[in-house]
Amino acid sequence: MKISKLALFAIVLWVVSVIVFGWFFIKGNTAPIDGQRTAIMLNPAERELALVEMRGLLASTQGILEGLNKKDMKQVAQAARASGMASAADVNPALMAKLPMSFKELGMSVHHAMDEIAQDAEAGKPSGEILNKLSNTLSSCVACHAAWQLKSE
């Protein structure tokens, strides 16, 4: 059976679209800037949403440390859970498409680690073990801030 030129064109167009979408999904909407960081170009509302999420992670970190200091594992779990995977569940797909893959991977690893910290606190694990996990999680935050800067388009 012969494939019509229109069908062949549609298949080629589909393949090219998938490749282009995949490229942008991995690369994100980035631009080089001076220094060692890369700018992630977002519209002002998207930038503010990302910054609000980062401030939430910082508040959770403070809550975890305060809870550990008071030996209040319920507070530790509650603070960590506030920045767990559930907090990242309904992120706008258009925003996610603009973020580079390595940024998304670091962000998701931080949310996942927060859930693990909450589980560890609920299981009554030692404070030192939870502090170690929080320290490792903060390393991801430092790496992210060292690599990228959120800029408005």
Residue 105 maps to a domain: yes
Question: Could you give the CA distance from residue 31 to residue 33 in angstroms, rounded to a whole number?
Answer: 6
9 vs 33, residue with greater confidence? 33
Residue 113 maps to a domain: yes
Domain range spanning residue 134?
Answer: 30-152
7 vs 122, residue with greater confidence? 122
Q: In total, how many domains does the chain have?
A: 1
Element of type H or E holding 127:
helix 127-147
Least confident of 18-22, 57-61, 104-108, 121-125: 18-22
Task: Tell whether the model's pLDDT for residue 1 goes beyond 70.
Answer: no
Q: Which residues contact 28 (CB under 8 A, 6 or more apart)?
A: 40, 97, 98, 99, 100, 101, 103
Average pLDDT over residues 69-85: 97
Residue 58 maps to a domain: yes
CATH number at residue 131: 1.20.120
